Amino acid sequence: MARVLVVGAGLTGSACAALLRGAAPGRLEVWDKARGAGGRMSTSRCAPDAACAGTADLGAQYFTLEPGRAGPHRSFYEELLSHGILEPLTAPIEGMVVKEGSRNYMAPQGTSSIVKYYLKQSAGADVFYEHHVTEISLRGGKWEVSRKMGLPEQFDIVILTMPVPQILQLQGDIVNIINENQKQQLESVSYSSRYALGLFYEAGTRIDVPWAAQYITNNPCIRFISIDNKKRNIESPEIGPSVVIHTNVTFGCNHLDSDLAEVQQLILNHLESILPSLPKPASIKCQKWRYSQVTKAVPNCPGQMILHTQPLLICGGDGFTHSNFDACIDSAMSLVKAIKSHL
């Protein structure tokens, strides 16, 4: 019985695990270095000691099904819509570019609910958090996978779905297994960087703006502001509002290695200049996205790359397509097709 490991519990990894259901004979495991599912589709809660109960999407905000993509991915959207995981985005978003024929969707329970849904659909996959993979080596015809905490474990198939630079940081035999051509391709991948700020408020707090989200064009720091509960059509007297701020790429790049507390204060200063009447939050979460969105993917790639065939070591994710829902689903489908042909 094969033992299969998916590294990364983001959209590509979770969709891959769901699509592998019944195809991989044996045990399927998903490891992620974070404390929960989602990856860059992250939904955060306020600090446990704060008197608020809201959540906020600190990563992906909404999803756009473009007319040209409607065929191959319609079934994925329809499934998520039928289960209430996705709903049409009806809240007003100022400055959003709308393409003719495209449809926008949001996740009422937060974007991480999509990843959690797919992990649940993987039917029997064991999901482990705080499993930070550091090393991959060949041992007796299997992959020995080491992590920061805990003993190494062996697998017959390993699927890597983390950002490409993190694949290149892995130690062990994988360093020599990746050939020179593949290394050049992987090193050519680039990502934008940005910060996200989540502001959480106590129940009863009012935030009076006419929009649910707004693109900002004339600020050196802030690119996007969302009244997150309003965007997700959540109006409850028991749950306080939450606000999400995304910085622009230039600010993210310039402050990538700055102190997090200093960056947080800079963002708050700029926010005050845009929304001077915004109340003081009960809790703040500052998130650095070093690998936010792919600006240059692996060229001429079918959504995955096979690094070793026997035993199988394969990688995929948005670094092999691009950064949106459809591209991650493309990569997951491509990974599963390659794995099934291998099996």
Structure tokens at 250: 């230039």
pLDDT tens digits for 229-284?
A: 999 998 888 889 999 999 999 999 999 999 999 999 999 999 999 999 999 999 99
Whether residue 51 has pLDDT greater than 80: no
Q: What is the pTM of this model?
A: 0.94
Q: Residue 162's closest CA among 276, 316, 27, 47?
A: 316
Return phi, psi of residue 286, to 5°.
-110, 125
86 DSSP assignment? -
Q: β-strands 157-160, 312-316: how paired?
A: parallel
CA atoms within 13 A on the CB side of 262: 8
Q: What is the mean pLDDT of residues 98-119?
A: 93
Whether residue 216 has pLDDT greater than 80: yes
Q: Can you give the C-alpha Rg of the chain in angstroms?
A: 21
Q: Residue 135's closest CA among 109, 154, 114?
A: 154
Q: What is the mean pLDDT of residues 308-335?
A: 94
Bridge partners (DSSP) of residue 29 are 5, 126
Bridge partners (DSSP) of residue 305 are 315
pLDDT tens digits for 234-245?
A: 888 888 999 999
pLDDT tens digits for 121-173?
A: 987 789 999 999 999 999 999 999 999 999 999 999 999 999 999 999 999 99
